[in-house]
Every structure is written in structure tokens, then in C-alpha cells.
Amino acid sequence: MPQVLNGGKSGLEMLATEKEHLLPEMPRYDTARTAEPRADKYSTIMVDSCHYSVPDSLVGQFIFVKVYPDKIICYHDGKEVARHKKRSSRHQWFIDISHYIKTLKSKPGALKRSVAFSQVKPALKDIYQRYYRGAEKAFIELIELISEEGMDRIEDAIKALARMGPNNVETEKIKAIVKRNTAIPERKKSINTSDTEVSSHKITAELDRILNEGTFEKSEVSTA
């Protein structure tokens, strides 16, 4: 008597059963090699003899690193904390100044002598030379703002303020313009509004007044 295979199920019936145990889609094939170096006292990790910076709050921590042919992505506690272009040189240091906000805030005078400052992008270095020489603390606050809001939005705010004169370019004013351009309709103010909020609203109101006084055409403000 011939043996009945698979309980007498047809091929389609067997496929339907197997589908319940299949993955919804093919898993992504990741070509990266991985490593888990510890961030040294300079807040860098070493990959292929080169040093790459990570946030200075992670000194002494193990960093999970994915090394691709063209980039390096660093993770801590499952979150991306740094990303660098993969370099082919050896024994070099590649530093992102935004990774050193905590350190620079405690030692603002060390900014210009730091390796981090020597490697900032030309656009950011130009902003320092034009508006922040001798005001390192305010410049560090600007770097922190750039890390939160992006360089494009900061540059737009600086251009708007610079039209009124270079002395108008200040971090607090830049912050106020960025906030104004991204704010949702303001809710009714609480009776217990904090001093910081009151100050912020005053700065924003003053900038609105200046920008619309006719110093330059209103159409310019809307496209700044």
C-alpha cells in the first residue's frame, strides 16, 4: 500500500501552513563589520588606527560601532550617537565639535586651541570670525543650537540679523528667530509664566518690531 506523505495535504495547503511561520519580508542584509571599543578620555573611539569622536558624556562607555566602506555609525544603548565619514588614512583624529559641548562649556577659553575647532566646517568657522571673536561662550551656545536645529536654519537667521548690522548677530536673537519661524500658534500664557519665557517673548516681540520697521523690505524677511 503506497505511503501517504504530509498527511495527504496538497502543495498549496502545505504552503499556506508554512506561511504562518515565515518572516514578513526578507531581512536587510547589512554589509557592516562591527566592533565595540570603549570611548577614551578624549571622547574618541579607535577604528582602523584612526580616532573618531563621540559625545563627551560617553567617556569610558562601550560604543557599538558599525563600520561601512564609506561611513562609521556609533550607537550607545541602542541609539545612534555619532556618525563619521570613513577615512582611509591612518593614525589621524576626526573630531565633530558638537560632541564636546559639555567640555567646552566648562572651559570656553580652550575653544580656539582645540582640535575640535581646527576641524569645524568652513561655514561655521566664518561665522566665528565675523561675529563671535572674543565671545567663545556665546559661540559654544550657538554650536549647541546648531546641533539641535540644523545649520541651514541658523544661517538663515544670521542672514536676517546681519542685514541690520553685524552687531545684531547674537545667539539669543538667533534662537528667538528660529523659535518664531517654527512656533505653532501660541497658547494663552499661564499666570505663572517663568522669567525665561517672559524674556524669550520680549526678544521675539522686539525682533518682530525691528524686522518690520522698514529697515529692509518685508518680503526680504519672509524669504530670509
**3 state SS for 150-193:** CHHHHHHHHHHHHCCCHHHCCHHHHHHHHHHHHCCCCCCCCCCC
Classify residue 170 by burial, with Cβ atoms within 10 Å: 0-12, 13-18, 19+: middle
* Distant-in-sequence, close-in-space partners of 106: CB < 8 Å, separation ≥ 6: none
| pTM of the entire predicted model | 0.65
Question: 30 is written with which cell numbers?
Answer: 547589512
CB-CB contact of 40 with 93 (8 Å)? no
Decide: helix, strand or coil at residue 11.
helix
Give the residue from 104, 105, 141, 139 showing the smallest Cα distance to 125: 139
Q: How far, in Å, are 7, 105, 110, 119, 192 from residue 99 at the CA level? A: 63, 12, 15, 12, 35
Distance (Å, rounded) from C-alpha 72 to C-alpha 84? Answer: 5
CA–CA separation, 35 vs 51, rounded Å?
14
Q: What is the predicted pLDDT for the residue at 205?
A: 65
By the 8 A CB rule, do 39 and 59 touch? yes
Neighbours of 194 (CB within 10 A): 9
φ, ψ for residue 66, nearest 5 deg: -105, 120
The pair phi, psi for residue 82, each rounded to 5°, is: -160, 155
CA distance 202 to 180: 12
Task: State how far the Cα of 174 lies from the Cα of 165, in Å rounded to an integer.
Answer: 14
Q: Could you tell me the residue ranges of all domains in the chain?
A: 33-94, 100-185+194-223
Per residue of the chain (224 residues), what is the pLDDT tens digit? Answer: 445 456 667 778 787 888 777 777 776 777 899 999 999 999 999 999 999 999 999 999 999 999 999 999 999 999 999 999 999 899 999 999 999 999 999 988 888 888 899 999 999 999 999 999 999 999 999 999 999 999 999 999 999 999 988 889 999 999 999 988 876 445 444 445 555 555 556 666 666 665 565 444 444 444 44
Query: Whole-angstrom Cα distance, residue 144 to residue 138?
Result: 10
